[in-house]
Amino acid sequence: MNFLIADTFTDSLARLTGDEQKAVKTTAFDLQVNPANPGLSFHKLDKARDRNFWSVRVSGDIRLIVHKTAGSLMLCYTDHHDKAYQWAERRKLEVHPKTGAAQFVEVRERVEEVVVPQYVSESRPAPYQSKPMLFGHIADEKLLSYGVPAEWLADVKQANEDSLLELSDHLPAEAAEALLELATGGQPRPMPGVAADADPFAHPDALRRFRVMSNVEELTRALEFPWEKWTVFLHPAQRELVECDYNGPARVSGSAGTGKTIVALHRAVFLARKNPDARVLLTTFSDTLAHSLRTKLRRLISSEPGLGERLEVHSIDAIGARLYERHFGRHRIAERDSIRTLLADVASSASGVTVTQNFLLGEWEDVVDAWQLDSWEAYRDVRRLGRKTRLPEAQRAALWSVFEAIWHRLEDEGLLTRATMFNRLAGKLSARKQPPFDHAVIDEAQDVDVQQLRFLAALGGDRPNGLFFAGDLGQRIFQQPFSWKSMGVEVRGRSRTLHINYRTSHQIRRQADRLLGPELADVDGNVESRRGTVSVFNGPVPVIAASDNANDEVAKVAEWLAGLQKDGLLPHEIGIFVRSQAELDRARAAVERARLAYKVLDEHVETVSGRAAIGTMHLAKGLEFRAVAVMACDDEVIPLQARIEAVTDDADLEEIYNTERHLLYVACTRARDHLLVSGVKPVSEFLGDLQNSGNHRTES
């Protein structure tokens, strides 16, 4: 007998308390070991349309809904008694007549009509104007090919922009995604059909919802981390990118929540499985994110420990330092604060240097060190990408006297910059016939710097399937833009964009997208289009709150947090983020007032067990929560006034505003279901962009 689990089961399991989850898991294990165990209390659901639905008693009030046939047993849903029964009575498992994929279909007759209220003035009634139907012109066969159940065709044909989101909650995921993509101007691909006698659970689209559990160990992994469904379910669009054969460097992009990290993880595992003798590197820009990737990878390959021996996970700085030591010996890195001190010391006695210390550090990091400029001629002639302030030759000459002295100081003290480390390492690896890794997969690739990319190019830039990048230009918050092509990494023609958002609700995604343009382009002209991105679920509208003072803001955020707890959210499902360390006290005050246990994040913290997370927006990268509050979005806080005041040329303001927008976007898109963005009047100008979307609730 096949034993399966559905993604609806893992979703429902995650909403139970810890003790309830343990009881459900125990019952699930008992079912897999012996479905005929007389100790299991089965009850046939007489009111269910699907006669194969049964209820299994877990505890006094918790029930497990299973779908049982002669050849299979599927875990479908779990909840308290009445809610579990209601779920089963409103659904049936069937094979789609057009695509051949197994899918849960909500019973049409048991769903109340979707009524969109029309609000009119009492004094002067407005004539009713029906909005145009979105899909009335599309043939039934085409809609069926997208996975729309036959009994829902009439409702789909009547849908307009007001009713579409409500309707999508009642449709199978693949149908809802296709309709949302059509409504936003995209052109979804019809699902492939299969032979009449094919296994409906083996269909590419069914694989994202249902998974056969071959043993207790596999079931254990699936139930241990119910929120991380990607360890079990992979979307067909993602699977295609994971398993594709690329003749050079490839890049997958997409807005926050579209599963780029999922694709990167599965790509690394796929390459290791496909090439039994290959060594694979999975890397990202920080130790914290590398640790997170390592944890997720262990869950993904726990049944194949041999893969772990050939699949290494490190931050890019860590693997660079390890390889450098292997080829050149021990070394010492000059940290940023040391460089800042050296620059201030040398500049204080240099003639003709009139720029600020911040400008001097930026010029060193983004131009001189980044491009490893070691002569006056190189600095004089370099194109200063990302540094828009124009410098006449005389001023460059004065600055070069400082930078040349810095190079000498570093050499005298036996120090390296990280850029120098990667530059030397790239040269060494380029001369080797056999690189240390056959394949490299890079997550959060938008924040890779110049010399790190040169190092990666030396690892595999000229080999098929050598380099695979995953990232989002809209989340670039650490690095200046530069040409990848000039570093030997050309992704043109091998760049794809994901458009299905799994993490963030429609309402939050649409709100956050207002912070960025519909298209973003890199220096080489590769365009990432954010048009057509759709979310797979609905949620409450975000709240934008403007307060008269900090105490008022703290009270509002505390009230919001308390409401979340009353609704059943657990502390570790909540994150609170601010622009910088200076605003952390406001976040602390809000969570303490809400009597919420919390932990302040630092660069070494990946997750916080049992407590809410408080941190700066930079530390939000790579995290996700059911609810997020973004606090202290005041004028002069974001964008940060100190950064603006350091600008010596108005042209440089554009890059500052871009990265500050990206930073707020990152913070907002850590939220799955609930988002609050607050500030003290006058609030940040960016909140005006969010408010212009019309998909929010404003409080003042």
pLDDT band at 128, cuts 50/70/90? very low
Mean pLDDT of 65-86: 95
The pair phi, psi for residue 698, each rounded to 5°, is -100, 135
pLDDT for 323 equals 97
Q: Average pLDDT, stretch 541-556?
A: 96
Dihedral sign of CA atoms 55, 58, 60, 63 in order: negative
- Confidence category of residue 694, pLDDT binned at 50, 70, 90: low
pLDDT score recorded for residue 268: 96
Most confident of 441-455, 609-623, 645-659: 441-455
Cβ contacts of 158 within 8 Å, gap of 6 or more = 133, 136
**Residues contacting 316, CB < 8 A, separation 6+:** 283, 284, 285, 442, 448, 452, 455, 456
- Under DSSP, the state recorded for 688 is H
What's the pLDDT score for residue 476? 85
DSSP letters along 653-670, please?
HHHHHHHHHHHHHHHHTT
d(CA 281, CA 279): 7
What is residue 523's predicted lDDT score, i.e. its pLDDT? 84
Do 534-699 and 234-328+421-498 have the same topology in CATH? Answer: yes
Contact 469, 260 (CB under 8 A): no
pLDDT at position 189 = 79
Highest mean pLDDT, choosing among 268-272, 484-488, 687-691: 268-272
pLDDT per residue over 289-310, tens digit each?
Answer: 899 899 888 878 877 888 889 9
The most confident of the ranges 178-182, 195-199, 437-441, 461-465 is 437-441
174-188: average pLDDT: 83
**Residue 70, exposed/middle/buried by CB under 10 A (0-12, 13-18, 19+)?**
exposed
| Angstrom distance (rounded) from CA 674 to CA 695 | 13
Selected residue with higher pLDDT from 299 and 360: 360
Q: How confident is the model at residue 316 (pLDDT cuts 50, 70, 90)?
A: very high
Structure tokens at 28: 């699930």
Lowest mean pLDDT: which of 36-50, 159-173, 465-479, 647-661? 647-661
Q: Check residue 697 and give its pLDDT.
A: 63
Fold of the CATH domain 2-101+196-224: YaeB-like fold (3.30.2310)
pLDDT band at 501 (very low <50, low <70, confident <90, very high): confident
At 129, the pLDDT band (50, 70, 90 cuts) reads: very low
Residue 123 pLDDT exceeds 70: no
In this predicted structure, the answer to whether residue 119 has a pLDDT above a threshold of 50 is: no
More confident residue, 473 or 465: 465
- For 202, other C-beta atoms within 10 Å of its C-beta total 14
Cβ neighbours of 22 (radius 10 Å): 12
Specify the CATH class of 234-328+421-498 in words: alpha beta
Give the C-alpha separation, 213 to 2, whole Å.
Answer: 8
| CATH class of the structural domain 534-699 | alpha beta
Q: What angle do CA 271, 245, 452 make, to 5 degrees?
A: 65
Parallel/antiparallel/unpaired status of strands 534-535 and 500-501: parallel
pLDDT of 20: 92
Residue 403 has pLDDT above 60, yes or no: yes
Q: What is the pLDDT of residues 407-455, one digit of tens each?
A: 999 999 999 999 999 999 999 999 888 899 999 999 999 999 999 999 9
Convert the pLDDT of each residue in 222-258 to its tens digit: 776 654 555 556 777 788 899 999 999 999 999 888 8
pLDDT tier for residue 54 given thresholds of 50, 70 and 90: very high
Out of 23-27, 144-148, 219-223, 460-464, least confident range = 219-223
Average per-residue pLDDT for the chain: 87
| Cα–Cα separations (whole angstroms), residue 426 to 246, 247, 385, 423, 461 | 23, 21, 22, 5, 11
- Residue 540 reports pLDDT greater than 70: yes
Of residues 552 and 487, more confidence is placed in: 552
Report the pLDDT value the prediction gives residue 692, as an integer from 0 to 100: 64
Give backbone dihedrals phi and psi of 461, rounded to 5 degrees, phi first. Answer: -65, -20
Instruction: Indicate the angle between helix axes 236-243 and 260-274, nearest 10 degrees.
Output: 40
- Tell me: pLDDT of 373 over 90: yes
**Residue 24 or 388, more confident:** 24
Asked if pLDDT for residue 112 goes beyond 60, the answer is no
pLDDT in the model for residue 400: 95
Average pLDDT, stretch 667-692? 92
Q: Is 525 exposed, middle or buried (0-12, 13-18, 19+ CB in 10 A)?
A: exposed
Percent of the chain at pLDDT exceeding 90? 55
Give residue limits of the domains in the chain.
Answer: 2-101+196-224, 108-123+134-183, 234-328+421-498, 335-416, 534-699
Report residue 375's pLDDT band, with 50, 70 and 90 as the boundaries.
Answer: very high
CA dist list (Å): 681 to 379, 546, 549, 668: 45, 6, 7, 20
pLDDT at residue 221 greater than cutoff 90: no
Lowest mean pLDDT of 60-74, 98-112, 363-377, name the range: 98-112
Among the listed residues 350, 224, 409, 386, the one whose alpha carbon sits nearest the alpha carbon of residue 298: 224
Res 121: pLDDT: 38
Predicted local confidence at residue 331, as pLDDT: 92
What pLDDT is stored for residue 696 in this prediction? 58
Q: Given this model, what pLDDT does residue 650 score?
A: 61
Spell out the residues 6+ positions from residue 400 whose beta carbon is closer than 8 angstroms to its own.
376, 379, 380
Question: How confident is the model over 550-566, as a mean pLDDT?
Answer: 96
